[in-house]
């Protein structure tokens, strides 16, 4: 690694606000700002202030940046974790994640070895490009949904995902409140799904399987970032029409996903598309505003343990040791002792 490459990687936590391929890019904050102003103008009570008139009198900036949220210990932990985690991902953990290009190439080569050459007779056409783009976006999103589902449903993995759900307030930085173990797993499963889809489409249609991109990223994903994606992790409630929330995940649906209310646990696990949750019976499409309390609720009551960078990184391992490793070792020890007594008898 050259000094220039090292320096650029060192700046990565700041570059994510500039690079349009990153979800934290300023251009997506701009569209989210417009959406937040719409919410403020029509529904100012949808924030920490319960009284709409008071919220209007305080002004838009105070509606957008309430002190009790942005200075909360949970939010302060997010800011430090954001910088440190981005550096660890770019310098260390990123090397462990699969790449969709690698998977796509492997898929094409495997299909060719198994079934022979294909992809002939197809001419490039805008409809085929749209089909390829949608197929890859859907595959990527399914991989991310499946990873999210598994991290909710498998107790061992939940200890890592608990890091994200331990946020007691939400700001855009909370989106990066993801343990590196989950980050690598989710990125790998998403890349595996997208790579398999793109490789299969390429084998089937050859060069006609052209993915439409913007900023070197699938245009469906970019379009979703423009659709006020930043508000997913915020106090600003923005819901789509109910019918649309059965197709695309709105920021309000993700608020429900972070709710401490037991009725909302394990719901709305989709990233872009709500179709997977709809099919799995885990979809909630709100018809009206709901005041949400964020956090773990009575699932553990250990939010305070996650108010530090140290807790965010190491608490999952401590929990796994106490809940899984020690009981497993105790059972093995008891089994060994019982077998030893049988031999002695």
Q: Give the pLDDT mean for 145-155.
A: 97
Classify 241 as helix, strand or coil: coil
Q: What is the pLDDT of residues 288-329, one digit of tens each?
A: 999 999 999 876 668 889 999 999 999 999 999 999 999 989
d(CA 125, CA 203): 16
Q: Give the pLDDT mean for 139-145.
A: 97
Confidence check: pLDDT of 232 > 70: yes
What pLDDT, on a 0 to 100 scale, did the predictor assign at position 342? 66
Least confident piece of the model among 40-49, 107-116, 202-211, 237-246: 40-49
What pLDDT, on a 0 to 100 scale, did the predictor assign at position 280? 97
Confidence of residue 207 (pLDDT cuts 50, 70, 90): confident
Confidence check: pLDDT of 121 > 80: no
What pLDDT, on a 0 to 100 scale, did the predictor assign at position 115? 86
The residue ranges of DSSP E strands in the chain, in sequence order, are 213-214, 217-218
Q: Give the pLDDT mean for 222-241.
A: 96
Confidence check: pLDDT of 177 > 60: yes
Classify 171 as helix, strand or coil: coil
Residues of the chain with pLDDT > 90: what percent?
A: 72
What are the residue ranges spanned by the domains of the chain?
3-314
Neighbouring residues of 11: CB distance < 8 A, sequence distance ≥ 6 = none
Whether 312 contacts 81, CB under 8 Å: yes
What pLDDT, on a 0 to 100 scale, did the predictor assign at position 255? 98
């Amino acid at each position: 690694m050259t000094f220039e490459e090292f320096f650029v990687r060192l700046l990565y936590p700041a570059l994510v606000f500039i690079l349009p391929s990153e979800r934290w890019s300023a251009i997506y904050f701009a569209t989210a700002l417009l959406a937040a102003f719409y919410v403020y103008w029509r529904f100012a009570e949808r924030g920490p202030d319960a009284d709409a008139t008071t919220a209007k009198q305080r002004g838009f900036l105070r509606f957008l940046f309430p002190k009790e949220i942005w200075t909360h210990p949970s939010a302060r932990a997010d800011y430090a974790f954001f910088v440190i985690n981005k550096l660890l991902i770019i310098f260390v953990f990123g090397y462990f994640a699969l790449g969709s290009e690698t998977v796509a190439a492997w898929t094409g080569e495997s299909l060719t070895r198994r079934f022979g050459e294909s992809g002939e007779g197809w001419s490039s056409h805008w409809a085929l490009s749209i089909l390829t783009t949608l197929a890859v976006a859907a595959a990527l999103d399914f991989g991310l949904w499946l990873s999210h589902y598994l991290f909710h449903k498998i107790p061992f993995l939940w200890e890592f995902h608990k890091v994200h759900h331990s946020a007691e307030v939400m700001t855009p930085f909370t989106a990066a409140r993801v343990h590196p173990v989950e980050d690598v797993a989710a990125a790998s499963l998403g890349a595996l799904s997208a790579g398999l889809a793109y490789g299969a489409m390429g084998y089937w249609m050859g060069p006609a399987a052209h993915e439409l991109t913007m900023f070197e990223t699938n245009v469906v994903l970019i379009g979703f970032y423009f659709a006020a994606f930043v508000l997913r992790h915020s106090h600003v409630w923005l819901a789509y029409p109910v019918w649309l929330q059965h197709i695309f995940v709105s920021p309000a649906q993700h608020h429900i996903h972070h709710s401490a209310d037991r009725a909302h646990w394990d719901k709305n696990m989709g990233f872009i598309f709500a179709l997977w949750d709809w099919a799995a019976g885990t979809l909630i499409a709100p018809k009206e505003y709901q005041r949400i309390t964020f956090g773990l609720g009575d699932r553990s009551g250990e939010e305070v343990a996650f108010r530090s960078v140290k807790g965010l990184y190491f608490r999952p391992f401590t929990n796994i040791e106490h809940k899984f490793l020690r009981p497993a070792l105790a059972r093995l020890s008891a089994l060994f002792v019982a077998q030893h007594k049988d031999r002695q008898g």
